Structure formats: structure tokens, C-alpha cells
Structure 1
Amino acid sequence: MIGWDTNVLRRREDRLENLLVFVLVLTFLAAAPLLAWWAGTAGYRSDVRAREWERTHVFRVDAVLVEDATGTDGPTGGPTAAPQAARATWTAPDGSSRSGIVQTEATARAGARVAVWVDDAGRLHVPPGRHSPVSQAILLAVAAVMGLVGVLAVAHRTGRGLLDRRRDRAWAREWAEVGPRWSRDPRWR
């Protein structure tokens, strides 16, 4: 079954290939759960830390547009539905006044209020992530297991390639020995 039988037709390379497959399957069965647990746990903890940092260092503030949104005309001459950019001002968490370009609706006019996210220093920041840390952990665990499968598949392909080369050389040696005897026998002509 694993290559340890006494079949005389099985070569040493065949037994080695079966042993290689057996070892690779055992490696997968032992390593996959541990690797998935480690990657999932690390991803979960990292995502929770990032969310905690965002909760204490990223704030939602209202910005006031100081100009109309650019690109208010669509292909038909009417307003577009795509977000547009406009210059705005806002108050940073430390009380200082800041300004910059923000994303807003295409129909927004000067004086309109737009919600933006800023960091401790009042610089614009992307909104906090809305994905679940659990889903992030599951994705990382699956990716880690798929990476393990890839590494083991490459190991199997490499080992099998080396064994195939040895089998081909053995076949050529044996054919060189048997071939001339068969070619002299009139029954094989």
C-alpha cells in the first residue's frame, strides 16, 4: 500500500515515490490545522489591534465645502452620480483649522457639509474598515493552507521528476541489455 510490499515488479523508485506521497500527506494533515490556526489567530489579533488604533486615532468630522464640486456635468449635460472632488475646511481634533480636497457628491455646492475622517493631527484618513476580524482571520487561514498545498505540490512534483529521471535511466540501461538479444531472435523480426 505505501510501498512496503514485496512485489518484485515494483522498483525501488516506485516504493520511494509512494513513501514520498505518504510523507507529504502526513505533513499536510499535521501542518494544515496548525498553520491555519496560527495564521487565523495572527490575522485576527492584527485586525483587532488596527481597529482599536482607528477607534482611538481616527475621527469623523464635518468639513465645509469652500467651492462647488468639480465635474458637475455628465455626458448628457446633467449632473454625474460619481463622487467628485472639492476644496473644504474642517476642524482637527486638536482644535486647529485644516483644509484640503475631499470627495463629495457631484451636485455639492460651496457651504455644504460633508463628513470626512481625519487622524489625530487632522490629516484626511480613509474611513475605518467595515469588514469583520473573523472574516479576515478565515481568509488568512485559507490562504495559509493553500500556500502549504502549493509548497507540498511543488515538493511532490520535484521528487517525482527526480524519480522519473532515475526510472528513465534504468529503463534505458535495461533496454540496452535486452534489446540486442530480441533483435537477434527471428521470432521478433
Structure 2
Amino acid sequence: MLLAMGNPLRRRSDRIESLMIFTLVMLFLAAAPGLGWWAGRSHYLAGVRAEKWEQTHVFAVMAELVSEPTSQTGTPVPRTAQARWTAPDGTPRTGLLPVELESRLGDRTPVWVDDRGNLRDPPLDRSPMVHAVLVTGAVVLGLAALLGGLGKAGRVLLDRQRARAWQREWLEVGPRWTTRR
């Protein structure tokens, strides 16, 4: 029985390929946990910070429509109306709001404002833990793809070298086998 390392048919390029694959697998096993943990933790902490910022800087207030809603040139949607609301610091504010079809003058509607009272989109429905897990998975898969690509590139280079070596050897041996007598 021949051992893998003692195989007389095993070329130098075969040993290099085995070492390359072993190194890439060990590199993945060493780097993936740390890199995944770092990416997931960073994304989680950023999501938590964004949530906390929105909790202290974004507010829901009630706005009262001070004009009849209008739509643009005959289309029923989107309708807008002039509205009035009070900013978190107590100053009165006015602006144009998108409103529902059934909205009328004097109706009250919730709007989201920043700490200065400027209109803004509602806070995102965040789920930092879910996003962190997804980012961790994406980073680990990205690392696997990167190392797999490096392995494929290495094999392509080794295959080219093996093909050139085979061609040189065939040019040396081939004429002896194919000559006619």
C-alpha cells in the first residue's frame, strides 16, 4: 500500500496543491469565527446606537390639517394638505403633508419630527440582532468565497504549469513512440 506522501507518481505540483488547500482551509477555520464575531458585533452595536439616537431625537406629534387636501392635476393620489404642529421644544410649525384620501380640514394626523420640529420619515423598524446575524453570515460566506477563489486561481496556475511540463515531456518522449519503421 502506498502512502499519499510516498506515492512515486505524486508530482511536486500535487504536493504544492495539497499544501495550498490545507493552508486555505486552516486560514478559513482560524479567521471565520473572529471576523464573523467582529462584523456581527459591530453591526449590532451600530443598530443599537441608531435605535437610541432615534428614541431621543425623533418624535411622533399630532398635526392638524389647516387646509383642504388637494391632489395634483386630477389624480386622486397623492393628496397633500397644509398642516400645523408643535415641535418638541414648543415652537409652532407648519408644512405640507401627504394625507389619506378621506382626510378633511381640521383632521388630526400623526407625523414624525426631529428635535427641531422638522418633518422626517418615521423611525425604521430595526432588529439589530437579526441584522447582526445576517451580516455575520454574509461576512463568513464572503470569506469562504474569497479563499475559494484564491484556491481556484492557485489550481489554475498549477494546472498551467502541469500542462507545460506534460508538453515538454511529450516533446521528448513522443517522437520515440510515434516513429514509423
Q: TM exceeds 0.5?
A: yes
1:109 maps to 104
Q: Measure the CA separation in 2 of the matches of 1:69 and 1:140.
A: 44
Distance 1:85 1:7 in 2: 81
Residue 39, structure 1, aligned to residue 34, structure 2 = no
Where does 1:22-171 land on structure 2 (aligned, <5 Å)? 22-65=22-65, 66-68=67-69, 70=71, 84-171=79-166
Shift of 1:99: 2.4
Q: Is 1:182 the equivalent of 2:167?
A: no
CA distance in 1, matches of 2:70, 2:27: 59
CA contact (8 A) 2:112 2:120 kept: yes
3-state SS, counterpart of residue 87 of structure 1? strand
Note the alpha carbon deviations across 1:3-25, whole angstroms, 9 max, x for none.
Answer: 96121212111111111111111
How far did 1:118 drift?
0.6
**Any idea what the Cα deviations from partners look like across 1:21-56, whole Å, max 9, x if unmatched?**
111111111111111111111111111111111111
By how many angstroms is 1:102 displaced?
Answer: 2.5
The number of aligned residues is: 178
**Preserved contact between residue 69 and residue 99 of structure 2 (Cα < 8 Å):** no
Match in the other structure for 1:10: 10
Deviation at 1:181, TM superposition (A): 1.0
> Aligned pair in 2 of structure 1 residues 87, 170: CA closer, same or farther (>3 Å)?
farther
Query: Is the contact between residue 69 and residue 105 of structure 1 (CA under 8 Å) also seen in structure 2?
Result: no
- Structure 2 unaligned residues grouped into runs of 5+: none
- Contact between 1:62 and 1:113, CA under 8 Å: does it hold in 2? yes
- One-letter identity of the residue aligned with 1:23: T
Q: Percent identity?
A: 51
Question: Which whole-Å CA distance do the structure 1 matches of 2:158 and 2:22 have between them?
Answer: 15
Q: How far apart are the structure 2 equivalents of 1:86 and 1:177?
A: 89
* Cα 1:145–1:184 shift into 2, 3 Å: same
Distance 1:84 1:19, change over 3 A: farther
Q: CA RMSD in A?
A: 2.2
